[in-house]
């Protein structure tokens, strides 16, 4: 891909924007770079940036990504991930962007938590816009990006450096992994070959068992797993799955023009009604602070809406499975969704 004429960096986090701007200027002194301190949930501010700069290619990576936190704050998952994506996508459309690449996650497939559901809704939004307009909208689905902020590898390594026990949710838990270069490759190839409406997925092979990963990292660090470095099973948290999926049963991935990248051309039937649902979510967030999100969500995902309506009324704490030994810890199964920019 050729060097861009201008690169816009958009983030609401001042420090992140400052450091990525400085790093890129040092590495590419001849590149015209414009940092934009903008919150994607503010539609007028996003529109102003697009009106002024009129970008031709948009990579939308801004998202909240931590499953446990978003289960506690579902309204923020909807506000930032869903409304933010809608705002950026509509600005791209209205101001003539040629292509729009939305970064999603394997947690969007048959979602069981608010993080995954929010990304599924963004996929539907992108699919709907791709069917009616000239801008080429497409989705890419990530697995866990090894070495990224919040990834299990970083968390395990931090614990190992401190001599602390490693925390694994369930001995059966598996996750798909991809490297940072593979994630970048997937995004750029999708932008290059996408015609609009596709979902691109990297061939990531078999999922990796997290317990085996913990033992391997212990050995590499010179510790005997479970002896010199304990491994504690903490139990699945609300919304977490034992295993993840890269596509739904009705989706049929096929080889793309580039080796190692699969493309899904089927569209979800729910995409056609997504914009009114997003507008309903927006009204709910504005008027009731998201207290009745499950009602709007239930119109597209009845089982999810019923489950979370029930969960919100229950005050009983969820205990780990009987075969697991409880021990407090981090959520180590977090998909990397934000790329460089977190909004």
* Averaged pLDDT, 258-268: 96
CA dihedral 164, 170, 174, 177 (to 10 degrees): -30
pLDDT at 194: 95
Share of the chain above pLDDT 90, in %: 76
Task: State how many domains the chain has.
Answer: 1
CA proximity to 243, closest of 214, 218, 209: 209
* Averaged pLDDT, 115-135: 95
pLDDT at 2: 74
Residue 316: band (very low, low, confident or very high) from pLDDT cuts 50, 70, 90 = very low
- Length of the chain as a residue count: 343
Distance of CA 67 to the CA centre of its chain: 10
* Averaged pLDDT, 167-191: 95
* Inside any domain, residue 25: no
Lowest mean pLDDT among 107-116, 255-264, 304-313: 304-313
Tokens of 216: 């391997």
Please say if the pLDDT value at position 167 is more than 50: yes
CA distance linking residue 87 with residue 161, whole number of Å: 42
CA distance linking residue 73 with residue 85, whole number of Å: 18
User: Which ranges constitute the DSSP H helices of the chain?
Assistant: 14-27, 43-53, 67-72, 74-76, 84-94, 114-130, 152-162, 180-193, 210-220, 274-288, 293-300, 302-313
Summarised one tens digit per residue, pLDDT across range 292-314 is 888 889 889 998 888 887 666 55
* Inside any domain, residue 155: yes
* Inside any domain, residue 333: no
Q: Which domain holds residue 211?
A: 60-313
Residue 342: band (very low, low, confident or very high) from pLDDT cuts 50, 70, 90 = very low
pLDDT at 315: 40
* Averaged pLDDT, 218-228: 91
* Averaged pLDDT, 40-49: 97
Residue 158 or residue 326, greater confidence: 158
- For residue 10, the tally of other CB atoms under 10 A from its CB is 27
* Averaged pLDDT, 226-241: 90
Local structure of residue 259 (DSSP, 8 states): T
* Averaged pLDDT, 63-83: 95
pLDDT at 313: 57
Please say if the pLDDT value at position 116 is more than 50: yes
CA distance linking residue 256 with residue 322, whole number of Å: 45
pTM above 0.85, yes or no: yes
Task: Enumerate residues 6+ apart whose C-beta is below 8 A from 119.
Answer: 63, 81, 104, 105, 107, 108, 111, 337
Please say if the pLDDT value at position 343 is more than 60: no
What is the DSSP track for 203-223? Answer: ---SPEEHHHHHHHHHHHTT-
pLDDT at 146: 87
pLDDT at 311: 67
| Backbone φ, ψ for residue 26 (5° rounding) | -70, -40
Verify whether residue 107 is a known catalytic residue: yes
* From 12, 65, 99, 107, the catalytic residue: 107
Please say if the pLDDT value at position 333 is more than 70: no
Average pLDDT of the chain is: 88
* Inside any domain, residue 30: no
CA atoms within 13 A on the CB side of 122: 39
Instruction: Give ∠ CA 48-50-51 in degrees, rounded to 5.
Output: 65
Q: Which residues pair with 260 in a beta bridge?
A: none
* Inside any domain, residue 273: yes
Lowest mean pLDDT among 126-135, 196-205, 311-320: 311-320
The CA-to-CA distance between both ends of the chain, in Å, stands at: 26
pLDDT at 35: 98
Please say if the pLDDT value at position 338 is more than 60: no
Q: By 3-state DSSP, what share of the chain in percent is helix, strand and coil, each rounded to 5?
A: 45, 15, 40
* Averaged pLDDT, 248-271: 96
Lowest mean pLDDT among 112-116, 201-205, 316-320: 316-320
pLDDT at 318: 40
Cα distances (angstroms) measured from residue 256 to each of 2, 98, 100, 230: 21, 21, 18, 44
Task: Enumerate residues 6+ apart whose C-beta is below 8 A from 306.
Answer: 294, 298
* Inside any domain, residue 11: no
* Inside any domain, residue 4: no
Tokens of 290: 């998201």
Please say if the pLDDT value at position 50 is more than 60: yes
Whether 40 contacts 87, CB under 8 Å: yes
pLDDT at 337: 30
* Averaged pLDDT, 285-293: 85
CATH code for position 93: 3.40.50.720
* Inside any domain, residue 127: yes
């Amino acid at each position: 891909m050729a060097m861009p004429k201008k690169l816009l960096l958009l983030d609401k986090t001042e420090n992140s924007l400052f450091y990525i701007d400085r790093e890129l200027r040092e590495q590419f002194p001849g590149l015209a770079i414009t940092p934009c301190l903008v919150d994607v949930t503010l539609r007028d501010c996003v529109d102003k940036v697009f009106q002024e700069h009129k970008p031709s290619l948009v990579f939308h990576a801004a998202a909240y990504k931590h499953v446990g936190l978003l289960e506690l704050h579902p309204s923020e998952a909807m506000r930032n991930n869903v409304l933010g994506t809608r705002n950026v996508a509509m600005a791209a459309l209205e101001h003539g962007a040629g292509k729009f690449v939305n970064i999603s996650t394997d947690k969007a497939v048959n979602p069981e938590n608010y993080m995954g559901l929010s990304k599924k809704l963004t996929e539907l939004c992108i699919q709907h816009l791709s069917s009616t307009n000239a801008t080429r909208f497409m989705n890419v689905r990530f697995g866990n990006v090894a070495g990224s902020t919040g990834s299990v590898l970083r968390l395990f390594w931090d614990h190992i450096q401190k001599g602390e026990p490693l925390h694994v949710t369930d001995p059966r838990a598996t996750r798909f992994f991809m490297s940072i270069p593979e994630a970048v490759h997937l995004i750029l190839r999708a932008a290059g070959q996408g015609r609009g409406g596709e979902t691109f997925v990297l061939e990531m092979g078999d999922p990796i068992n997290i317990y085996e990963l913990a033992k391997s990292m212990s050995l590499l660090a010179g510790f005997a797993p479970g002896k010199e470095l304990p491994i504690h099973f903490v139990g699945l948290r609300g919304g977490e799955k034992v295993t993840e999926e890269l596509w739904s049963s009705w989706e049929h991935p096929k080889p793309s023009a580039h080796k190692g990248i699969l493309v899904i051309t089927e569209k979800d039937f729910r995409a056609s009604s997504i914009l009114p649902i997003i507008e309903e979510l927006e009204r709910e967030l504005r008027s009731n602070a998201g207290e009745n999100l499950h009602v709007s969500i239930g119109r597209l995902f009845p089982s999810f809406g019923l489950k979370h309506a029930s969960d919100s009324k229950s005050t009983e704490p969820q205990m780990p499975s009987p075969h697991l030994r409880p021990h407090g810890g981090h959520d180590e199964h977090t998909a990397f969704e934000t790329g460089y920019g977190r909004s």
